[in-house]
Chain A
């Protein structure tokens, strides 16, 4: 198994390199550094201003090959945007934002806290509620309860997440005034009140799809032969669901979940933006609206990195949870 994991990690590394190449093509080849400069500085500045801006932000080098150097000189290849891009991204040297020149690394550090304080409760609560609800429904499968919940899931799945946020803000924030509509506080006691609504909205928005998926998994497991054996031993339904079905169903559920863990960092983009939470998601939205390519580049890179890490984590957890994989 260790060998398998090492192989996976190496493949992951190659994937990272591939992603960086993709990002390079997108952000440097398709977009013109001149355009970026123009968007940052303004349309009517003098050419020298553009040149200076590009120099300051590291956009002034040639893309792939620096012909200013001789053929034998290694700087022909290293003093290029491509090499620089790779070097900096792999060493996590993110530089400054194109929009306001702030250090991206610092903004990342600042944004991580609020993002996590939103997404971790969101994730945990969503998971617990979905699993419990799905177990409950699976226990009552084929009855009216089951069918009613499935219809509900279908309906809730068909509503755009945007509408949940708007609706939630309106109903609970404005009409019922239970929680503030938006805002954030760094104080852990106050933060709770600000986070309650986004967490609630986030959980409700995602619950439909999750419950359906988990229910399917639970019901499929309940129909397996070993469950029949358990019943023949004299196990009651409750014990069957909890000790046998749940334990086995956890394996596919785990793979489904672990993939989403890295996204706890990038933060729920929409939620942070709507609810005024100064996390990484908000940072990304600002970058979009401000045409801040360097920040955007960094966020996409981090997202990919975390995703790849998540996949490797999934494989590990799968191996740990399933003795069939662990012990071969």
Chain B
């Protein structure tokens, strides 16, 4: 269901982007500057998608009824966790278990070893991709339209609406975001949707502020005056003039806040209120393993690498985007 929504969203985005001349010029620049980051991101999105498409059926013979009726995603089917789970820890590519040295059911198949429950670490890292994308993407998907609604209305219609929205923004922004996040999750419960909503509420102000600021600036622009003088309705002006002009900034802000959201979730996981199956949770479970001798490092490594790669890729893309869009105006005057 979610996947359909996301796919639809991305198709619409692709259409808008391909029609917009600005993006056509810049997309190739972006590709030239940060090919590795883009490929990495595409890879992650691919894995996430694979993990979102699942169906019931086709289990191995010998499964009990519960297992047979469970919906398994492409990733699940690829890794077949039920078959390759060991009993407990094992080192990467080992053939014996870590404690006790008993032979494994699938020696040499675990690239990054297995965790305390014997689950393959690479499998768990792959599962974490979808969660991370969810945190960043889904949350923003909820937040951006609402923030736009409030921000653009405040900036465009001004006066009372602006005062009200500004006050709301100030109140929300006055609570340190981490504390607000914690309070929200404690209060709403610890499900996936709740955590996303909580993350959304804390991040909403940032987008709203930008939308409002830009709309305020645009409202004073001459072409808006001209449109109004021609009698164009407010809604049309917003749709045709305001929104496309703030779209660029919104996209950059989205990329930047994406990483913030993912990193915030790791803190939530540490506190015990994060999302199920996220890398943050893996890290939280793994953090004490470093103090064992001999140390168990592979759980931590898998999750950290995944996290680092995703965050770095998005950061670099966001940075390049900002370079392309912003100092365009600055460097032109040589």
Contacts and interface: CB of A to CB of B under 8 A. Distances in A.
* Contact present between A and B (CB < 8 A): yes
Interface of A: 11, 14-16, 18-19, 21-23, 26-27, 30-31, 154-155, 157-163, 166, 169-170, 174, 263, 266, 269-270, 273, 284-285, 288-289, 291, 293, 296-297, 299-300, 303-304, 307-308, 311
B176 A26 contact: no
Interface string B154-179: 00000000000001101110111011
A161 B263 contact: yes
Nearest to A150: B319
B308 A300 contact: no
Given A284-B179, A300-B175, A300-B176, 5 more contacts: A14-B167, A18-B168, A160-B283, A174-B291, A311-B174
User: 9 tightest A-B contacts by CB?
Assistant: A18-B171, A158-B312, A303-B176, A158-B311, A304-B175, A300-B179, A304-B174, A170-B290, A303-B179
Nearest to B172: A22
B266 A162 contact: yes
Given A158-B308, A304-B175, A166 B183 contact: no
A166 B179 contact: no
Interface stretch (B53-61, B87-95, B135-143, B268-276): B268-276
B243 interface: no
User: What band does the interface of chain B fall in when counting residues whose beta carbon is under 8 Å from A?
Assistant: 35 or more
B267 A162 contact: yes
B300 interface: yes
B171 to A, nearest CB: 4
A166 B300 contact: yes
A289 B268 CA distance: 11
B182 A19 contact: no
Given A154-B316, A162-B283, A270-B270, A288 B186 contact: yes
B75 interface: no
B287 interface: yes
A19 B186 contact: no
A162 B315 CA distance: 18
A299 to B, nearest CB: 6
B174 A19 contact: yes
B13 interface: no
A303 B176 CA distance: 6
A154 B172 CA distance: 29
Given A27-B187, A300-B180, A162 B270 contact: yes
Contacts of A291: 186
B162 to A, nearest CB: 14
Interface of B: 167-168, 170-172, 174-176, 178-180, 182-184, 186-188, 259, 263, 266-267, 270-273, 280, 283-284, 287, 290-291, 300, 304, 307-308, 311-312, 315-316, 319
Contact of B267 (A16, A26, A27, A270): A270
A160 B170 contact: no
Nearest to A173: B291
21 contacts: A14-B167, A18-B168, A19-B175, A154-B315, A158-B308, A160-B280, A160-B304, A161-B263, A161-B267, A162-B267, A162-B280, A162-B284, A166-B287, A170-B290, A263-B176, A266-B176, A288-B186, A293-B186, A296-B186, A300-B180, A304-B176
Contacts of A170: 290-291
Given A166-B300, A174-B290, A296-B186, A307 B174 contact: yes
A132 B147 CA distance: 38
A269 to B, nearest CB: 6
B175 A30 contact: no
B283 A163 contact: yes
A31 B187 contact: yes
B34 to A, nearest CB: 11
A19 B304 CA distance: 36
Contact of B290 (A31, A166, A269, A289): A166
A159 B315 CA distance: 11
Most A-side CB within 10 Å, residue of B187, B272, B319: B187
Given A162-B280, A263-B176, A291-B186, A15 B171 contact: yes
B319 A154 contact: yes
